[in-house]
Amino acid sequence: MNRSPDNPQWIPLQEMVPQDSIGYALISQISSLGDRLRPETIFQQPLKPPLKIQAKFATNADVLRLSFSEFLESGLKFDLINHLKNYLEGILILPHSRLLAAVYDAPQLPVPPNREEEIVEGIEGALMQISSKKAALVLIFRFGLLDGITRTLAETGKQLSTTGSANREVIRQAEAKGKLCL
C-alpha cells in the first residue's frame, strides 16, 4: 500500500516497536501476532484507563515503545503489562473481521494469517459496490479499516463532515445502510 496520511502503510507489528521494548516482548509472546500486518497508525490510539494515568503517555505507542529500564523508571505498575497484553491480543482481530462480525451479528474471532489478505480484499471490494459512498465511508471510519483506529459515532461524524460535525443519528443510519448493503 502507498504511504500517505489517508492510507497508512500496513507493516508487521514487530516492526512498529524497538526490539528492546516492552511492546516487542509482549508481541513476541502472543502466537502469530508479530508477523501480522496492521496499519502503522494502530498504536496511535489514545490511552484508555487504566493506562491513562500519566500525562507524559498519550498513546499506546508511548508505552509500548518503552525499554524495560524506561518502563521501570516511569513508575507504571507491572499489572498494566496484562492490560497491554490484552490490548495487543485485541489487535489479532483484523478490523475487517470486526466489520464482518457486526454485519452478521457474530463473535469477533481472529482470522488465520494466511486468510487475512483475502478478507481485506473481499471487504474492500464489497465496500466499493455500495451505492451510498457516505455509508461506505462511515463503515471505513467506524471500524478503522484504513488506520486500525475504531471511532465513535461522534468521531466518525466529525471525520466525515466538512461543516462541523454530522449528527450521530445520521451516522448511525448510514452505518446501518452500509451493513445492509454488505
Domain boundaries, the chain: 10-91, 95-181
Q: Structure pTM?
A: 0.79
Residue 121 has pLDDT above 90, yes or no: yes
Predicted confidence (pLDDT) per residue in 24-39, tens digit: 999 998 877 888 889 9
Of the pLDDT bands very low, low, confident and very high (cuts 50, 70, 90), residue 173 is very high
Per-residue model confidence (pLDDT) at position 51: 60
Q: Smallest Cα–Cα separation from 57: which of 41, 30, 75, 37?
A: 75
Asked if 123 contacts 115 with a C-beta cutoff of 8 angstroms, the reply is no
In this predicted structure, what is the pLDDT of residue 26?
A: 92
Rounded-to-integer distance, Cα 84 and Cα 22, Å = 9
Render pLDDT for 53-87 as a digit per residue (tens, 0 to 9). 555 788 888 889 999 999 888 877 777 788 888 88
